[in-house]
Chains A and B, each alone.
Chain A
Amino acid sequence: MLLKVEKLTKHFDGLVANNHISFDLAEGEILAIIGPNGAGKSTLFNLISGMLPATSGKVFLEEEDVTGLKPHSMAERGIARTFQTTTLFDELRVMDNLAIGYRVRTRTGFWDALLHSSRWRREKEETEAKVMEALEFIGMREYAYHFVSTLTQEAQKRLAIGVALMSDPKIMMLDEPTAGIIQDETDGIMELILRLKERGITVCLIEHKMRMVMDLADRIVVLNYGEKIAEGPPEEISCNPAVIEAYLGGEHIA
């Protein structure tokens, strides 16, 4: 198992945001986490990526206990993530955003920078090559010198995935990669996610657009009020009565 989440629980004072959530992530699959607003999906992401400390429970990456590690250590170990509200270095250029994404794989420090050591040169060239490759992959080659603030929402979403991709992660956790963009553009992002899978990257995504989830996901985990209420392949989830109830409210007539 690539990632194993075991009884992860998060209390915010009295509120239970996640209650004993367990699931596995197998190498190479696309797992979607769905659930109504406030179900605890983003909290779960924050717990796994180390942005929030869990109240209890454990996270294992390739059998190794990584619970409670800082986000930067998680990124170093190969768990990359994006944020629900597009989060980028908006004062910097597209290429610099990508270069920062690769920083975790480089070791250039103060003295290398000052003395222009061989490491400084090697890593500079390495970073430039990686940036070019990523620009190509996300289809934004002509935007290398653009500032982030001049990009469309869709381009920013692509770039956010590109930045996460730079560290050669094992797992990419995408928090609503298509939030706030129109249907036509959603298809482009979907195709990008499929190409991530082709690259051998395991994808775990939070998504609201059901059509996209059904098309993309190999498996789906459903959360409601901080509890896991279902898990399984898309066709099974789509006719699961508990899931339908969570989405449409109780007492529905089928």
Chain B
Amino acid sequence: MKYNKFLKQNWLYLLLLIAALSFPLVISSRYYIQIMITALTWAMAALSLNLILGYTGQASLAHAGFFGLGAYSLALTTKAGLSFWLALPLAGAFAAFIGLFIGLLTLRTRGHYFAISTLCFGVIVFIVAGSWIEITKGATGILGIPKPTPIPIPFIGELSFTSQTNQYYLVIFFLLLFLFIIYRLVNSLQGLSFMAVRNNEVLAEAVGINTFTTKLLSFVVTNFLVGMTGGIYAVLMGGVSPTVAGSNLTFFWLAYVIIGGVATMAGPIVGAVLVTFLMEYMYSLGEYRLAIFGLILIMAIIFFPRGLVGVFTRLYQKIKDYFGGIRGGGAGQNAAKSRKANETL
């Protein structure tokens, strides 16, 4: 009975999980798997952006900067001989550490000013990556990052990450881990503090929330996650160059979050996967793609402020309320309850 209820509430997530896990088994085209790997890496970056932007309401435009910090950190440490499994959390910690200082400075500003000051930091990282030739090798970047260290498994042998399929599962693993972290964080009293700050900073402060440290925590966690994402990107690409810190990446991720649904769990993933595939589909259009992309973005902002996930949730709710109404018996209460259940989608 208990499992039945669980299935009933989460069938959609289970379906998506099965689809994600079986993707490389069903799809044989290396081309599509590669696009999916890229899309899901961008989804990870969008997920962490959603934490500071969507849940905490602070538009950090330094996201690619911290992505770049993580990517370079991983490139340098793995090339120096460190195992990928140590270098990856280190990449996150490095981005988070720098983020702490940047946060201490920039989080004193609000709204547009925060966006501008973080954008400046992003640009600084990009310029440093291109100019500090002794460390970053300038515009050529660092090449030849070794593939993730194989994980030994008793009796079977070892799990290596040279095959595309295994790299795909590596990305899925971290995507699920990020989802888990963000889900737990947002659905806690700490997450409620984030949302309080987003919704009304003055009131949040008045009811006793230290809004500065709350924003700082969100910023540091965000940067830890995006630093790790940068590390994963670097190892999959086998190299890094200053473009990994380019602010156009930030704006793409921002668009994924907005199109998918700000402050929703699934939004960043939906946005990243859909837009990446759409862009790939329209590859022949070249630069014109960006015009179409821009149009989609404007439409989303005007007509679907809560993105595609918002639209979907509303439709699902309508259908559910309709059937709840037919069955009768406290329909209103059921509606309120199911609305509560769908909030985190």
CB pair B203 A113 closer than 8 Å? no
Is the Cβ of A103 less than 8 Å from the Cβ of B209?
A: yes
Q: Are B339 and A75 in contact (CB under 8 A)?
A: no
A176 within 8 A of B: no
Q: Which single member of B193, B198, B203, B340 contacts A87 (CB below 8 Å)?
A: B203
Selecting from A10-18, A19-27, A90-98, A239-247, the interface stretch reads A90-98
Tell me which residues from 92 to 133 in chain A have a Cβ below 8 Å from any Cβ of chain B.
92-93, 96, 99-101, 103-104, 106, 108-110, 112-114, 116, 120, 123-124, 127
Tell me if B221 counts as interface (CB < 8 A to partner A): yes
Contact A72 B189 (CB under 8 A): no
CA distance A83 to B188 in the complex (A): 27
The answer, yes or no, to whether B162 is at the interface (CB within 8 Å) is no
Q: Binary interface profile of B, 180-222, with partner A (CB < 8 Å = 1, else 0)?
A: 0100110111111101101110111111111100000100010
Within 8 A of B (CB), among A29-82: 49, 51, 70-72, 75-76, 80-81
Inter-chain contact A113/B209, CB cutoff 8 Å:
no
Q: Is the CB of A51 within 8 A of B209?
A: no
Given contact pairs A83-B203, A91-B195, A72 touches B210 in the complex (Cβ within 8 A)? yes
Q: State the interface size on chain A (CB cutoff 8 A).
A: 41
CA distance A101 to B202 in the complex (A): 13
**B58: min CB distance to chain A, Å:** 15
- Give chain A residues whose Cβ lies under 8 Å from the Cβ of B203: 83, 87-89
B336 at the interface (CB under 8 A from A): yes
Q: Which of B189, B199, B336 contacts A99 (CB 8 A)?
A: B189
A106 to B211, CA, bound (A): 15
**Known contacts A92-B195, A108-B188; A100/B204 CB under 8 A:** yes
Q: Are A112 and B190 in contact (CB under 8 A)?
A: yes
- Interface pair B199/A91, CB less than 8 Å apart: yes
Of A51, A75, A109, the residue contacting B207 (CB under 8 A) is A75
Q: Is the CB of B195 within 8 A of A103?
A: no
List of A residues within 8 angstroms of B193 by Cβ:
100, 103
The chain B residue with its CB closest to the CB of A142 is B333
Is the Cβ of B188 less than 8 Å from the Cβ of A101? no
- CB neighbours of A90 from chain B (8 A): 199-200
Task: Indicate whether B337 reaches chain A with its CB closer than 8 angstroms.
Answer: yes
Tell me which residues across on chain B come within 8 A of A109, comparing CB atoms.
190, 217
CB-CB < 8 A to A163: which residues of B?
A: 207
How far does the alpha carbon of A124 sit from the alpha carbon of B196 in the complex, in Å? 17
Q: Cα distance A161–B8 when bound, in Å?
A: 39
- Point out which of B187, B189, B337 has the most chain A C-beta atoms below 10 A from its C-beta: B189
Query: A92-B195, A110-B221, A145-B336 in contact; A100/B185 too (CB < 8 A)?
Result: no
Return the contact of B209 from the options A80, A87, A104, A164 (Cβ within 8 A).
A104
- C-alpha spacing A88/B206, complex, angstroms: 11
Within 8 Å of chain B (Cβ to Cβ): is A167?
yes
Residue of B nearest to A91 (CB): B199
Q: B181: which of A51, A92, A114 is its contact (CB, 8 Å)? A: A114
The distance in angstroms between the C-alpha atoms of A206 and B340, with both chains bound, is 37
Interface set, chain A 114-171, CB cutoff 8 A to B: 114, 116, 120, 123-124, 127, 145-146, 163-164, 166-167
A164-B207 contact, Cβ under 8 Å, with A87-B202, A145-B337: yes
Docked Cα-Cα span, A96 to B198, in Å, equals 14
Q: If A104-B209, A145-B336, A145-B339 touch, does A89 touch B195 (CB 8 Å cutoff)? A: yes
Complex Cα distance, B339 from A18, in Å, reads 48
Q: Are B207 and A116 in contact (CB under 8 A)?
A: no
User: Using Cβ atoms and an 8 Å threshold, which residues of chain A touch B200?
Assistant: 87-90
The one of B185, B196, B339, B340 in contact with A103, judged by C-beta atoms closer than 8 angstroms, is B196
The answer to whether B190 touches A108, judged by C-beta atoms less than 8 angstroms apart, is yes
User: What are the residues of chain B within 8 A of A83 when measuring CB–CB?
Assistant: 203, 206
Task: Let me know if A103 and B189 touch, CB within 8 A.
Answer: yes
Q: Which of B188, B209, B340 contacts A72 (CB 8 A)?
A: B209
Residue with the greatest number of chain A CB neighbours at <10 A, chosen from B205, B206, B336, B337: B206
Instruction: Looking at the assembled complex, report how far the CB atom of B100 sits from the nearest CB atom of chain A, in whole angstroms.
Output: 13
A180 and B206 alpha carbons, distance in the complex (Å): 22
CA distance A75 to B210 in the complex (A): 10
Task: Take A90-B199, A114-B181, A145-B340 as given contacts and tell me if A100 and B190 are in contact as well, using a CB distance cutoff of 8 Å.
Answer: no
Binding site for A on B (CB under 8 A): 181, 184-185, 187-193, 195-196, 198-200, 202-211, 217, 221, 336-337, 339-340
Residues of A within 8 A of B (CB): 49, 51, 70-72, 75-76, 80-81, 83, 87-93, 96, 99-101, 103-104, 106, 108-110, 112-114, 116, 120, 123-124, 127, 145-146, 163-164, 166-167
Query: Nearest 5 A-B pairs (CB), nearest first?
Result: A104-B208, A75-B208, A113-B188, A145-B336, A108-B189
- Can you report 28 residue pairs joining A to B where beta carbons are below 8 Å apart? A51-B202, A51-B206, A70-B205, A70-B210, A71-B205, A71-B206, A72-B208, A80-B207, A81-B206, A88-B203, A89-B196, A89-B204, A91-B195, A92-B195, A100-B207, A103-B207, A103-B208, A104-B209, A106-B189, A108-B189, A108-B190, A109-B217, A110-B190, A113-B184, A120-B189, A127-B189, A146-B336, A163-B207
**Apart from A51-B205, A92-B195: 6 A-B pairs, beta carbons within 8 A:** A51-B202, A92-B196, A103-B192, A103-B193, A145-B337, A164-B207
